[in-house]
Amino acid sequence: MFQIVNKGGKMKVIELLAEGFEEIEALTPVDYLRRAGIETAIAGVGQTCNGSGGISGGHKIRIECDFSLTDCLCSNAKSDLPDAIIIPGGLNGAKNIAKNQAAMSLIKEMNENNRLVCAICAAPIVVLAQTGILKGRKFTCYPDMEKQLEDFVPDAGKISELMEGSELIKDKAAVQDGNLITARGPGAAEEFSMAIINALCGEKTVQQIKVQGCLR
């Protein structure tokens, strides 16, 4: 099992949020990770977050971000990458992240530096497929999203190359393969969150959070 080795300091996680995100998938991991003592910040993609009134999800719930992704990238050195990045689903939210060059560059850099890359619902297909991160990996996604790959990979001729050796797992809510964690949809948000906590902090912390939350 892949686990982050923290060499001092507090774990840091960034969640990317763009207009049209899926609310359950966005809020559940942030809530659970903060309960686990993991410093988790929400970075707005495609807007400044300065008095903007927040970002609206697919069900019209607005969330105020901690900062904009642009501000975050300007104020942090490349060597100061977070331990994990979370990409929630919601088709429109995932599309907006995929269109943002800064977000896509950060996701690729995280993977290249063996940091945890976590995506749920539409995000594995809409966001990750075009980066090549799914190549040779086991993953899952929202049911039947894999059939729409041609709609979301800019160069459809490269799909075979980008997805070479990948394996779609349909019978698990959340799947981990190395530094990649993926999950199916809103109903898998809790399991997705626990997989992230396990990768960052270990099973003991997962069990503590489950007891606190009256989870089975």
User: Could you give the residue numbers annotated as active site?
Assistant: 121
Burial (CB count within 10 angstroms: exposed 0-12, middle 13-18, buried 19+), residue 137: buried
- Beta-bridged to residue 175, according to DSSP, are 182
The one-letter amino acid at 21: F
Task: Count how many Cα atoms sit within 13 Å of the Cα of residue 162 in the half-sphere of its side chain.
Answer: 21
* 135 vs 109: CA distance, rounded Å: 16
Which among 81, 84, 80 has a CA at the least distance from the CA of 3? 84
Asked if 139 and 169 count as a contact pair (C-beta separation under 8 A), the reply is yes
